């Protein structure tokens, strides 16, 4: 077998340097921005064998660190650490006809939004990474003159041994610039559309935007850690390596090709489109390629570009049905592996408009039971009477329809506003029913065994110092007093609080009274906006509060079933 990658290092025309197990070579086929290079195994070794050895994997990370530093110093013009230069990494190899004959090589691709003009021996040359901010495309080639290639090579070599970076200072510089504001990758795994599993540092999810080919994944840092910084943390890199071992086995089994005869796996770091430079959330793409077609629930996928260079512009957005079918197949396979360090996520939410539930969650598991005591439902919440406590008529719960953690809930201003609108609806309606003077709204949840699994919900407790009168269909009137009026809020039975469970007849009558007296939120729009402003929401919404609240009110649907 003739393998171009098996070329002796001494015969490599643009060799940068060698380590014990690898040669680092300048890519002569494309230099859109100077410094694109390849890490190539000295001996003919399959990518899985290289990535399957933790020591070799660590050696590769050290090569990347050294090359990043040299390229940034040689060609950078930004801050002290030249973070305007980003790096993509791609372990590809799809041009080999037989996957089992593949020779490990990985591209390191520096990218930058800046133009770089150089004059070399009187020859002016401009480097322009014109696809910056666009999907990565490894099919692009540039005819770079040998004079320029030799100049790039010399610049990198001259800076390979430049005084080493102060790692502690570098970490501090990165961490001081990092912000998770508006970062979609910071989404907790429970709120991802199609999650698979998580470990200490990473979450693994299906790529919901692109399933060319079936089974495409993202490995994403659970913490907002810059992609360039992650290589400096040994414990994170080691865990990343462990996840890759699991994913390799998973994908080969997914394609029913455990020997790897017809399947390849691309591992890519593609941060060409992400966030602010120096503040791109660490994530990696895992892209299966298969020579065979694969059919899942009637959907067939055939890699028509098998044997050609990887092009990230090729896209196939799956339907919710297909995405979930792929996910279910992965989950079934995952259960056949023994891996104590991961936690499988049994939840699916491919469409934010669809309801996502978590097995074992009290609020999720009681959806059907709550139908008998439901006051009403909106776009994102259900409002139900507290089944085991109607000490005062109308004590209720406002519960998120989707399994959403309270801390994540607070980040979504639309949900916060909708919940506050519901508070107004509840209190103003029950005030019409029973003359209440005060409404208390409590976020509790202290009984949840695992705080991370908490489901966003709020307690509504009305109160008054006057008689509370409820009339039954029979003409009988039930009169009660709020014994807790003017006392500190305390709902702990161990400290004297008395729960009062009401009969089905009384519960149905409370629901009927509520629905018959439901306020018209459209007519009360101005009053509601004033109420929300008094609650401090104008601090969050500033000048556009009226328009945002109006839009939410106009789109809010109140239903009783």
- Please state the pTM of the whole predicted model: 0.64
All structural domains of the chain, each given as residue ranges with its CATH number in brackets, are 1-165 (3.30.428.10), 184-268+277-354 (3.30.428.10), 362-555 (3.30.428.10)
Token pair of 492, please?
A: 């702990």
pLDDT of 462 reads 93
pLDDT of 350 reads 47
What are the C-alpha distances in Å from 49 to residues 240, 290, 338, 391? 16, 19, 21, 67
pLDDT in tens, 336-369: 887 777 877 766 554 444 556 777 788 888 888 8
pLDDT of 353 reads 41
Helix (H, G, I), strand (E, B) or coil at 18: strand
pLDDT of 398 reads 95
User: Can you list the pairs that 518-524 forms with residues at least 24 positions away whose Cβ atoms lie under 8 Å?
Assistant: 518/376, 518/425, 518/429, 518/558, 519/425, 519/428, 519/429, 519/432, 521/421, 521/424, 521/425, 521/553, 521/556, 521/558, 522/553, 524/424, 524/428
**Residue tagged 């729960």 (tokens):** 499
Helix (H, G, I), strand (E, B) or coil at 409: helix
Lay out the sheet containing 195-198: strands in order across: 15-18, 22-26, 37-41, 105-111, 86-91, 263-269, 283-290, 217-221, 202-206, 195-198, 343-344
CB atoms within 10 A of CB 544: 10
Q: Cite the beta strand spans of 249-353 per DSSP E.
A: 263-269, 283-290, 294-296, 299-301, 343-344
Token pair of 250, please?
A: 């998973």
pLDDT of 95 reads 59
What are the C-alpha distances in Å from 171 to residues 177, 233, 284? 10, 10, 20
User: Phi/psi at 102 (nearest 5 deg)?
Assistant: -65, 140
> pLDDT digit of tens for each residue in the chain (561 aa)?
578 889 999 999 999 999 999 999 999 988 988 999 999 999 999 998 999 999 999 999 999 999 998 998 899 875 566 667 888 899 976 656 677 788 999 999 998 887 888 888 888 888 887 777 776 777 777 788 899 999 999 999 999 987 555 666 666 555 545 555 567 787 777 678 888 998 888 999 999 999 988 999 999 988 877 787 788 888 889 999 999 999 999 999 999 998 888 898 999 998 655 545 556 788 999 999 998 899 998 888 888 888 777 777 788 888 888 888 999 999 999 988 877 778 777 665 544 445 567 777 888 888 888 999 999 998 789 999 999 999 999 999 999 988 888 877 776 667 788 888 899 899 999 999 999 999 988 887 666 667 777 888 999 999 999 999 999 888 899 999 988 888 777 766 666 677 899 999 999 999 999 999 998 877 777 777 777 777 665 544 444 566 667 767 776 778 887
pLDDT of 511 reads 94
CB-based contact 55:22 (threshold 8 Å): no
Q: Which helix (H) or strand (E) holds 438?
A: strand 438-442
Task: Pinpoint the alpha helices (H) of 351-412.
Answer: 362-365, 367-370, 406-409
pLDDT in tens, 4-22: 889 999 999 999 999 999 9
Q: Rounded distance, CA 327 to CA 109, Å?
A: 31
N-to-C CA span, the chain: 69
């Amino acid at each position: 077998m003739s393998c171009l990658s098996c070329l002796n290092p001494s015969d490599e025309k643009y060799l940068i340097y060698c380590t014990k197990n690898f040669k680092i070579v300048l890519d002569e086929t494309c230099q859109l921005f100077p410094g694109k290079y390849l890490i190539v195994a000295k001996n003919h070794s399959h990518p899985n064998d290289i990535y399957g050895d933790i020591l070799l994997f660590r050696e590769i990370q050290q090569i990347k660190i050294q090359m990043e530093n040299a390229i940034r110093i040689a060609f950078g013009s930004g801050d002290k650490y030249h973070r305007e230069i980003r790096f993509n990494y791609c372990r590809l190899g799809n041009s080999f006809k037989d996957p089992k004959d593949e020779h490990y090589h990985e591209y390191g691709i520096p990218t930058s939004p800046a133009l770089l003009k150089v004059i070399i021996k009187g020859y002016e040359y401009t480097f322009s990474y014109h696809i910056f901010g666009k999907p990565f495309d490894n099919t692009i080639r540039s005819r770079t003159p040998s004079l320029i290639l030799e100049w790039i090579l010399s610049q990198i070599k001259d800076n390979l041994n430049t005084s080493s970076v102060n790692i502690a200072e570098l970490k501090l510089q990165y961490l001081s610039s990092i912000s998770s504001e508006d970062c979609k990758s910071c989404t907790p795994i429970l709120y991802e559309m199609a999650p698979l599993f998580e470990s200490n540092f990473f979450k693994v999810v299906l790529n919901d935007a692109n399933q060319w080919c079936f089974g495409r994944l993202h490995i994403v840092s659970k913490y907002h850690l810059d992609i360039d910084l992650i290589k400096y943390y040994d414990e994170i890199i080691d865990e990343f390596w462990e996840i890759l071992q699991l994913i390799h086995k998973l994908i080969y089994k997914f394609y029913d090709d455990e020997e790897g005869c017809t399947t390849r796996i691309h591992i890519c770091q593609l941060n060409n489109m992400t966030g602010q430079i120096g503040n791109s959330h660490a994530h990696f793409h895992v892209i299966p390629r298969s020579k065979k077609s694969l059919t899942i629930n009637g959907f067939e996928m055939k890699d028509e570009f098998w044997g050609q260079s990887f092009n990230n512009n090729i896209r196939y957005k799956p339907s919710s049905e297909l995405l979930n079918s792929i996910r279910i197949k992965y989950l079934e396979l995952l259960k056949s592996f023994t891996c104590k360090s991961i936690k499988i996520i049994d939840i699916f939410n491919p469409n934010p408009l669809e309801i996502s539930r978590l097995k074992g969650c009290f609020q999720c598991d009681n959806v059907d039971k709550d139908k008998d005591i439901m006051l009403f439902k909106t776009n994102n919440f259900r409002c139900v009477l507290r089944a085991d406590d109607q000490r005062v008529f109308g004590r209720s719960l406002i519960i998120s329809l989707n399994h959403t953690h309270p801390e994540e809930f607070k980040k979504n201003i639309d949900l916060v506003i909708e919940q506050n609108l519901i508070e107004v609806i509840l209190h103003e309606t029950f005030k019409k029913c029973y003359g209440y003077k005060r409404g208390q709204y409590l976020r509790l949840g202290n009984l949840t065994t695992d705080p991370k699994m908490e489901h966003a919900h709020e307690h509504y407790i009305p109160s008054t110092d006057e008689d509370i009168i409820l009339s039954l269909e029979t003409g009988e009137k039930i009169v009660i007093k709020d014994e807790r009026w003017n006392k500190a809020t305390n709902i702990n039975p161990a400290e004297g609080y008395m729960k009062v469970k009401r009969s089905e007849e009384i519960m149905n009558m409370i629901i009927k009274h509520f629905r018959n007296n439901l306020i018209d939120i459209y007519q009360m729009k101005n009053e509601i906006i004033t109420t929300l402003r008094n609650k401090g929401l104008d601090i969050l919404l500033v000048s556009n509060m009226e328009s945002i609240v109006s839009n939410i009110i106009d789109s809010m649907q109140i239903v009783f079933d």
